[in-house]
Amino acid sequence: MAPITRLEQLVEVVKSKPKKRLVAAYANDSHTIEAVSNAIDLGIVDGILVGDEATIKKVCTDHGFDVNKFRIVQEADEQKAAHKAVSLIIGGEGDILMKGLVSTDKYMRAILNKDAGLLPPKAVLSHVTVIENAGYHKLLVVGDVAIIPQPDLPQKIAITNYLIQVAKAIGIETPKVAVVAATEQMLPGMQACVDAAMISKMADRGQIKGAYIDGPLALDVALDKESADIKKIESKVAGDADCLLFPNIESGNVFYKSHTKLSKGELGALVMGAKCPAVLSSRGDSALTKTYSIALAALVAK
């Protein structure tokens, strides 16, 4: 498969694969229902909406969605709807979980539930975002921007492997991963630099497989070939990164939001590490962002 370079290509690739079953948790809002409706119309999923049936039907009527294309599972309580959606996945009735109007903490609580959740033992949950920006020549796979505040080295290794997995899913045979810090200098007093150097060396020794990894790299050096040349950085990654591993949630989140709010870029996003991919977009994200996120999850789902 040739690398996917635009998010709309995600949909075309997924359409050629067997259809997945999506379960939306607390799908009481028009953005979620519109995104699931779009994905059904595009032929990439079948959709189950868990939420208040009367509200869902009213939203469908108000916005002109055909309510008959969905299976609706009644649960008016926000937290119970999230747990119900997870139980449908565990029961084999779905392949992808999606966040509706439920708050992120309640959605994550349902996924992390020790008795009836989706988290395998010792797994690390992480948010992976695929970004399309007119200022860059290909898609960027980045993390973590939404779940792990201050990842330690083992968590950064897990995130790196998720970035590689998603990059391969979109057709990048050997992804180039930049481990981002405030500088490309190796400064022992800066933990981001130390972790980056260790992750890069682990890749050199084959402990992290399937990608070219380099770091620490400042963002300009990671994304801009001219900056890398001026600073005399010789690297397979510098100036041409496919993936960005951020040192903490602040740096990742600011990058993500400056991309969407200042550059008006598009994205698809999902949570990795659970027993199935989980779509975790913001309640304020557009229906298009959510549709791209569904397509990305369908591509990654087993």
The distance between the two most distant Cα atoms of the chain, rounded to a whole number of Å, is: 62
Q: Is residue 130 part of a domain?
A: yes
In the chain, how many domains are there?
2
Average pLDDT over residues 214-223: 97
Average pLDDT over residues 111-139: 92
Shared-domain flag, residues 47 and 102? yes
Q: Is residue 2 part of a domain?
A: no
Residue 172, pLDDT > 90, answer yes
Q: Is residue 271 part of a domain?
A: no
Question: What CATH code is carried by the domain that includes residue 50?
Answer: 3.40.50.10950
Shared-domain flag, residues 151 and 234? yes
Mean model confidence pLDDT for the chain? 94
Shared-domain flag, residues 156 and 216? yes
Condensed to tens digits (0 to 9), the pLDDT of residues 229-242 reads 999 999 999 999 99
Report pTM. Answer: 0.93
Shared-domain flag, residues 110 and 135? no
Shared-domain flag, residues 13 and 79? yes
Q: Sheet containing 96-99: which strands, arranged edge to edge?
A: 70-74, 45-51, 20-25, 96-99, 278-279, 266-272, 126-132, 140-143, 243-245, 176-180, 212-217
Shared-domain flag, residues 253 and 132? yes
- Residue 281: pLDDT band by 50, 70, 90 thresholds? confident
Residue 49, pLDDT > 80, answer yes
Q: Give residue 35's domain range.
A: 7-119+276-300
Average pLDDT over residues 10-30: 94
Q: Is residue 285 part of a domain?
A: yes
Query: In the prediction, which pLDDT does 283 show?
Result: 64
Q: What DSSP character marks residue 67?
A: G
Q: Is residue 162 part of a domain?
A: yes
